[in-house]
């Protein structure tokens, strides 16, 4: 029979280090993961798309320095999110969510590294963020024709917000997500609009609809265009 020591979990610092290994320079290059995608066509974002992309960038840029970084923005928000849920750093939930958010960041970072367009510096500037979305959103009618990293980002974002992993987003999940990034105020109103059938939850089907609207819709009344806060 295994001893109690043998059954003990690894220290949380080691488990988190394992979760972070994909952030190191030794990880598989994102552009290789997505190398089967068709070559991007460079187009220009519409003015409305540009506003949405800028709004999304501002949401993630917690310290307002014009650069997205995992440790200074996403990890800061993650730790706030975990505190809001009442978890501790030695809890199972903490490690699970750390892994989810590492995957979330890596997926977003893959957009910058798509076809080796950017430098492997583990950060995304505002200009790089705008450029990677300009290259990705060449098809304005079908998100399924977007690069794979865009398609993967849809469920990865959903799972980063879904607190209990039940594949539904509830108001408390969305409010805590906004609060973790320091964006308070409009979360409840936006969530109620995202809840298409009024059942108090945003399903994966509803989320997919809203994300497609965010990427390609030109109708400002569509709630998906305001996933990261109302446009200015």
Domain CATH for 144: 1.10.238.10
- Determine what percent of the chain is predicted with pLDDT higher than 70: 78
Assign 18 a pLDDT band (cuts: 50, 70, 90): low
Mean pLDDT of 11-38: 43
User: 140: closest CA among 205, 213, 208?
Assistant: 213
Assign 28 a pLDDT band (cuts: 50, 70, 90): very low
Token code pair at residue 75: 């990890």
Structural domains in the chain (count) = 1
Return the pLDDT at 215. Answer: 92
Instruction: Name the residue range of residue 145's domain.
Output: 12-17+43-222
The verdict on residue 148 lying in a domain is: yes
Mean pLDDT of 62-82: 93
The verdict on residue 188 lying in a domain is: yes
**Complete DSSP assignment for 191-211:** HHHH-TT-SSEEEHHHHHHHH
Residue 165, Ramachandran bin (φ over 0: left; ψ between -120 and 50: alpha; else beta): left
Q: Does the pLDDT at position 165 exceed 50?
A: yes
Name 3's bridge partners: none
Q: Does the pLDDT at position 5 exceed 50?
A: no
Mean pLDDT of 54-61: 96
The verdict on residue 76 lying in a domain is: yes
67's enclosing H/E stretch is: strand 67-69
Return the pLDDT at 118. Answer: 54
Q: What pTM, to 2 d.p., does this model score?
A: 0.80
The verdict on residue 28 lying in a domain is: no
For 112-116, 170-174, 178-182, 186-190, which range has the lowest pLDDT when averaged over its residues? 112-116
Average model confidence (pLDDT) across the chain: 81
Assign 34 a pLDDT band (cuts: 50, 70, 90): very low
The verdict on residue 104 lying in a domain is: yes
Return the pLDDT at 208. Answer: 93
């Amino acid at each position: 029979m295994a001893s109690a020591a043998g059954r003990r979990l690894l220290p949380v610092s080691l488990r988190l280090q394992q979760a972070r290994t994909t952030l190191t320079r030794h990880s598989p290059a994102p552009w290789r993961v997505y190398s089967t995608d068709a070559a991007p066509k460079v187009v220009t974002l519409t003015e409305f798309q540009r506003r949405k992309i800028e709004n999304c960038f501002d949401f993630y840029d917690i310290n307002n320095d014009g650069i997205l970084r995992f440790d200074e923005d996403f990890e800061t928000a993650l730790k706030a999110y975990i505190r809001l849920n009442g978890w501790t750093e030695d809890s199972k939930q903490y490690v699970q969510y750390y892994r989810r958010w590492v995957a979330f960041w890596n997926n977003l970072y893959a957009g910058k590294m798509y076809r080796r367009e950017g430098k492997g510096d583990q950060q995304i500037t505002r200009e790089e963020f705008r450029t990677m979305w300009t290259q990705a959103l060449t098809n304005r009618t079908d998100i399924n024709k977007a690069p794979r990293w865009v398609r993967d980002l849809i469920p990865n974002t959903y799972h980063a917000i879904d607190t209990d992993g039940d594949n539904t987003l509830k108001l408390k999940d969305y409010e805590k997500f906004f609060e973790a990034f320091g964006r308070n105020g409009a979360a409840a109103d936006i969530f109620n609009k995202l809840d298409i059938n009024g059942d108090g939850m945003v399903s994966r089907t509803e989320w997919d609809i809203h994300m497609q609207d965010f990427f390609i819709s030109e109708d400002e009344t569509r709630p998906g265009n305001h996933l990261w806060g109302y446009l200015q």
